[in-house]
């Protein structure tokens, strides 16, 4: 075991175990079955629904035995992002964990501490027989990262608690008490293909080396978006030369900032020198623009081949969509300094036989903001001859200043961490909003250890933070 000599071992042993089980969104059956068997072997009543959500019950222990029950909630799935030069099949391969100083990482891929560490903390609580705590209703959901279908379809009539600790917070300096509404959206442009004619050069332009990140938690960091950069380069070319798109691909997940992308273009042989000059200028301009946020940006091009391209009309519509579609921070909060109120991420662009699909994720502090962004996408679809579809809308989780869970958490925090805690909200999406709508009067707090660069292959979990958070978690549960 890679983590055998690190603390808290009672948590990290479970994290390493589930890291051996592929569990991308939509592929959670194996890990759900594993945890269900683990819980049942310990004698805990366990419900597994047809989506592979789990609800596991554990009686209270010690001083907490007569307290009201509490939900511990985490999600089973992970975002599957990897570096282009990493050989890894997320459907079959275990994550390759290693330790670098204070951090646990995975070689070339996302680590899955979002939210595997929360799952591991729940498993440790199920296994422990001595720690005092209230009766537990442990809820482990599926497909959180791809639209929150698990939480949306959870049978909450099986839950009695009006209190919930969400374990999907990646910052041990803060308690999260609110999260954004989210929408999964698609804009599909119809494809009209034409044969490549004589006197044509074909180039494939590649953008890579961007930082990427979480489309909610990192959106305000002004990191480059590979799809947007490709759109800007196409627009620069389109201003001066005739260009046709033969293929375009960028990003892997709608809720991750796209780090890499490619576009294959057809140009006239007579324009090749001019095209290279424009691309050279774009490369220099973007290197300057992103020198602080994405110093590793790399734009290159190579000769290629193509049999067909999109028509002039569809190429123009695609360039317009890539250029005009909402992307990045749209509004900042006027009440909480540094908090994003509305954003949109152009997460994935892919070429299909019958169209070009752009996948997006608008987020907002309330549905009001999402509706504004969705309206922009819908009108852009009309202007470009495309079709906009909006799926899997998740509600915001509004801040509750009178939270009893928060009051107790604040009292327990400083004795463990030796500092005051920050009370904040996140622009990321949490399942808390869905569960708050489904369970009237539910009091919620989100906690967790420091986990950095989520949704990227640079994701890393602090070991020291995990140890401190585990000590706080035990102290906090005993106080409830």
- Please provide the average confidence, as pLDDT, over all residues in the chain: 96
% of residues, the chain, pLDDT over 70: 100
Higher pLDDT, 346 or 367: 346
Say which CATH number the domain at 363 has.
3.30.70.360
CA distances to 100, 115, 125, 382, 452 from 2, rounded to whole Å, are: 11, 19, 22, 53, 20
Q: What torsion, rounded to 10 degrees, do the Cα atoms 223, 338, 177, 112 define?
A: 20
The answer on 305 and 341 residing in a single domain is: yes
Strand (E) positions, 231-290?
Answer: 243-250, 256-257, 261-268
Query: How many domains, the chain?
Result: 2
CA distances to 6, 65, 121, 473 from 408, rounded to whole Å, are: 29, 18, 20, 12
- The Cα–Cα gap between 98 and 179 comes to 31
């999907």: which residue's tokens?
A: 168
**462 domain residue, yes or no:** yes
Model pLDDT for residues 175-207, shown as the tens digit of each residue:
999 999 999 999 999 999 999 989 999 999 999
**4 domain residue, yes or no:** no
Secondary structure tally for the chain: helices H, strands E: 11, 25
Give residue 147's pLDDT: 85
The answer on 135 and 176 residing in a single domain is: yes
Residue 338 has pLDDT above 90, yes or no: no
The answer to whether 434 and 153 are in contact (CB under 8 A) is: no
Number of Cα atoms under 13 Å in the Cβ half of residue 108: 11
Model pLDDT for residues 278-320, shown as the tens digit of each residue:
999 999 999 999 999 999 999 999 999 999 999 999 999 999 9
Residue 339 has pLDDT above 90, yes or no: no
**467 domain residue, yes or no:** yes
pTM here is 0.85
The answer on 121 and 41 residing in a single domain is: yes
CA distances to 141, 306, 460 from 269, rounded to whole Å, are: 54, 14, 47
For 84, the domain range is 9-180+396-479
- The Cα–Cα gap between 39 and 350 comes to 41
The answer to whether 360 and 147 are in contact (CB under 8 A) is: no
Give residue 146's pLDDT: 86
The answer on 362 and 418 residing in a single domain is: no
Model pLDDT for residues 366-422, shown as the tens digit of each residue:
899 999 999 999 999 999 999 999 988 889 999 898 999 999 999 999 999 999 999
Q: What is the mean pLDDT of residues 204-232?
A: 95
The answer on 323 and 457 residing in a single domain is: no
- The Cα–Cα gap between 163 and 300 comes to 53
Residue 362, classed as helix, strand or coil, is strand
Q: What is the mean pLDDT of residues 204-223?
A: 94
Sequence-ordered list of residues with C-beta below 8 angstroms from that of 246, at least 6 positions apart, any chain: 196, 202, 264, 265, 266, 306, 308, 309, 310
Residue 94 has pLDDT above 90, yes or no: yes
Give residue 414's pLDDT: 97
């Amino acid at each position: 075991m890679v983590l055998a000599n690190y603390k808290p071992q009672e948590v990290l042993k479970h994290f390493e175990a589930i890291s051996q089980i592929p569990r991308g969104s939509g592929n959670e059956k194996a890990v759900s079955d594993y945890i269900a068997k683990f819980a049942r072997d310990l004698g805990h009543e366990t419900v597994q629904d047809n989506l592979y959500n789990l609800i596991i019950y554990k009686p209270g222990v010690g001083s907490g035995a007569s307290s009201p029950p509490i939900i511990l909630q985490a999600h089973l799935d992970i975002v599957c992002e990897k570096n282009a030069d990493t050989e890894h099949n997320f459907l079959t391969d275990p994550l390759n964990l290693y330790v670098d100083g204070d951090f646990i990482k995975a070689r070339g891929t996302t680590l899955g501490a979002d939210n595997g560490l929360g799952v591991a903390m729940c498993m440790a609580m199920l296994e422990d027989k001595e720690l005092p705590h209230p009766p537990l209703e442990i809820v482990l959901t599926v497909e959180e990262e791809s639209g929150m279908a698990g939480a949306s379809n959870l049978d909450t009539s099986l839950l009695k608690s009006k209190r919930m600790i969400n374990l999907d917070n990646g910052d041990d300096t803060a308690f999260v008490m609110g999260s954004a509404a989210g929408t999964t959206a698609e804009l599909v442009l119809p494809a009209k293909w034409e044969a490549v004619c004589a006197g044509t050069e074909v180039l494939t332009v590649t953008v890579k080396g961007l930082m990427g990140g979480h489309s909610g938690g990192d959106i305000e960091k002004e990191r480059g978006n590979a799809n947007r950069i490709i759109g800007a380069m196409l627009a620069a070319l389109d201003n001066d030369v005739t260009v046709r798109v033969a293929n375009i691909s960028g990003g892997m997940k709608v809720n991750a900032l796209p780090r890499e992308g490619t576009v294959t273009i057809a140009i006239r042989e007579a324009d090749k020198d001019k095209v290279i000059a424009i691309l050279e200028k774009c490369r220099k301009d973007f290197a300057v623009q992103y020198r602080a946020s994405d110093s590793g940006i790399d734009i290159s091009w190579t000769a290629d081949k193509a049999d067909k391209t999109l028509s002039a009309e569809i190429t123009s519509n695609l360039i317009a969509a890539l250029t005009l579609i909402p992307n990045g921070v749209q509004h900042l909060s006027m009440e909480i300094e540094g908090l994003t109120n509305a954003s949109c991420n152009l997460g994935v662009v892919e070429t299909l036989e019958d169209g070009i699909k752009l996948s997006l994720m608008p987020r907002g502090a309330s549905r009001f903001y999402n509706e504004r962004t969705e309206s922009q996408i819908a009108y852009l679809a009309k202007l470009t001859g495309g079709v906009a579809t909006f799926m899997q809308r998740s509600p915001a989780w509004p801040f509750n200043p009178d939270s009893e869970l928060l009051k107790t958490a604040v009292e327990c925090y400083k004795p463990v961490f030796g500092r005051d805690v920050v009370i904040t909200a996140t622009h990321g999406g949490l399942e808390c909003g869905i569960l708050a709508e489904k369970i009237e009067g539910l009091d919620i707090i989100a906690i967790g250890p420091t986990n950095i660069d989520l949704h990227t292959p640079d994701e890393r979990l602090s070991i020291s933070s995990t140890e401190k958070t585990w000590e706080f978690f035990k102290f906090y549960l005993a106080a409830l």
